[in-house]
Structure 1
């Protein structure tokens, strides 16, 4: 949240930093959505897992195609040198993709961690982020329609434009899916969600260390931007409240075991 303004005017005149950020964080969506769709297409998928996966699979939620399209448009806007930076970063950040894929291969039920955290983040914070990005304008984005389809939901039979009804359906489906897990599997999902948030922190630091040949505007520095954030920025307490409420859907049947887990998370 603190770094979002750094990728926008007046702190930069190019969508390069946004493209880099989405390239890295996109690896999470690319990894778990590919695993989900590949698993559902396999005749060898365990019947219980198939039932779990089918419950949380909503075509309108899938972000991979949208994000790849957005990134393709962004690369076409950038000059060849900067587009190459994005391509190189995409190759380097495959380590995140591989890490997530390996974790799901070992414990396929932890896919629920990624679906819950990343889709709910899109619903709960994505709309705010989109409102910060879109006003940068056609000159910045290179198109009258900004390449921000990742953040929106086209109106269809199961969702409206802001995705609120889809959010409700997904949460209900997720609850049904978690009812098919054992207590041990629920614990695995909680632990994987904690690991996912740690990975997100690593991604932020990784992007901080990424060097770019595209200079920022002279007024740009992290401290000044952070101090100037509007009051609409979500607080750490708000984010923790979201995470804690997310874990409630995974509450095991054994109450004492659940309370022990929550204490460890806290």
Structure 2
């Protein structure tokens, strides 16, 4: 695909009626909260592969659930309104379930049982929320199509660059550099096309053209509200990982305190006993 001409760039930033622009303007607060949280936690995750894989595992279940529902809509014999809209802009090249599966297999030593199902409370609740809300309002899928996928285009290259230089994050392979090994665990950010910015621009354009006239105003408002919920629940997942790892560290420290306290207690008791015996002997003799 050749580079898009200026007149093909849709929506323009000044188009206040475009659904994508309305989502962006309405979710600035939620976006900033997640952005700051991700930036801080990402710096920590770069030093610990176990924390990083916990993070992408959460996103894996979100993408997997959303893409399952998208395919359900697209493959339905009786094409629904949402299925019709999706067919006009959805591009399989942006799907992330398969790339994330490759990343997680690498980080979990080819053991899919370690990540096949959501584990943490926040992950389970997020997946349940997507499925239950979709049943009532199938158009909310379009919120995920904007928020989750365009975020990868926007920040994926930056994260990928940082990951490629992160020493100690990736399980090492004999004879390969960190940069070479990193490619096994960064498929999430790879689109395997010549220019992913062209894919991004065409995806945004087709999304806007497909949604502009096909949705009611109430459906658009539902999508905007769900976009806020996506950011909130992403923030919850990140906080859940932070809490889990903090508790692990605390529990390890508590265990050490208990063990060390036990032996220190014995030592103090021994000294006290010796001191008491010495006083008793001195008193008697």
TM-score computed with the length of structure 2 as normaliser = 0.64
Q: 1:4 aligns with which of 34, 42, 54?
A: 42
SS at match of 1:210: helix
Instruction: Give the distance between the partners of 1:130 and 1:54, measured in 2 at CA.
Output: 30
SS at match of 2:150: helix
1:29 counterpart = 2:63: yes
Q: 2:197 aligns with which of 150, 160, 164?
A: 164
CA shift at 1:36, angstroms? 0.2
Kindly report which structure 2 residues correspond to 1:1-266, keeping only aligned pairs within 5 A, or say none: 1-9=39-47, 12=48, 15-46=49-80, 48-76=81-109, 87=115, 90-92=118-120, 93-137=123-167, 140-143=170-173, 144-146=180-182, 147-155=185-193, 160-161=194-195, 163-179=196-212, 180-211=214-245
The count of corresponding residues between Structure 1 and Structure 2 is 200
Structure 2 gap ranges (5+): 1-38, 174-179, 250-285
Instruction: Give the distance between the partners of 2:153 and 2:239, measured in 1 at CA.
Output: 24
Cα pair 2:104 2:115 within 8 Å, conserved: no
CA RMSD of aligned residues (A): 2.5
TM-score computed with the length of structure 1 as normaliser = 0.68
The C-alpha deviation readout for 1:75-126, integer Å capped at 9, x for no partner, is 008xx9xx98x54983332332121121122111111101101111101111
Cα distance, 1:122–1:73 mapped onto 2, change above 3 Å: same
Cα distance, 1:106–1:207 mapped onto 2, change above 3 Å: same
Cα pair 1:40 1:53 within 8 Å, conserved: yes
Instruction: Give the distance between the partners of 2:247 and 2:237, measured in 1 at CA.
Output: 20
The C-alpha deviation readout for 1:153-201, integer Å capped at 9, x for no partner, is 102xxxx25x100000000111012121111111111111111111111
Mean Cα deviation higher: 27-36 or 163-172: 27-36
Instruction: Give the distance between the partners of 1:213 and 1:201, measured in 2 at CA.
Output: 18
The C-alpha deviation readout for 1:181-240, integer Å capped at 9, x for no partner, is 11111111111111111111111111111138987xxxxxxxxxxxxxxxxxxxxxxxxx
The structure with the greater share of residues assigned to helix is 2
Instruction: Give the distance between the partners of 1:3 and 1:167, measured in 2 at CA.
Output: 26
Instruction: Give the distance between the partners of 2:215 and 2:207, measured in 1 at CA.
Output: 11
Structure 1 gap ranges (5+): 216-266
Cα pair 1:138 1:145 within 8 Å, conserved: no
CA shift at 1:57, angstroms? 1.2
